[in-house]
Amino acid sequence: MYEDIELWYPYYRLKEEGADVKLIGPGSEEKVDYKGKNGYPATSDTNAKNVKAEQIDAIIVPGGFAPDFLRRYDDIINLVKNAYKNNKLIAAICHGPSVLVSADILKGKKVTSFMAIKQDVINAGATYVDEEVVRDGTIITSRKPADLPAFCKKIIEALK
């Protein structure tokens, strides 16, 4: 139940830039089919248990209902925490920052998100701002699908 455009727009934009993009699922199986909110399918390349923070440059968490499910998996939360500890880029859009809340990495950070989780990010110790894209150190956040151009531009700038 990911927000289709929030997964596929960054996926293809980063591929255009030459990135090796992988879809990482939360469960124990590697190749799992997931449906977006609009029914568009995505198949995971692997799962979070098989990925080490040292192997990646960035994590991008799409919005939709997916973050509420992702945050329930210790392997996802541990991967995000370890990536943060290893100074890897962590980007989240819309409801995606709820995964960062569960990973306990927002304290003292300036972030944005979909307004429905504004209080969650504040309660996690972040300073909430209503801007299309916010970068604070290795964390990049955006609010909604309309912010995707700025969101992807900021991610690409950070990875270069």
Catalytic residues: 94-95
Of 24, 121, 62, 142, which is closest to residue 158 (Cα–Cα)? 142
Q: Which residues pair with 111 in a beta bridge?
A: 128
Query: From its phi and psi, is residue 106 left (phi > 0), alpha (psi between -120 and 50) or beta?
Result: alpha
SS3 110: strand
3-class state of residue 87 by DSSP = coil
Q: Which residues pair with 42 in a beta bridge?
A: 34
- What pairing do the DSSP bridges indicate for beta strands 133-136 and 139-142? antiparallel
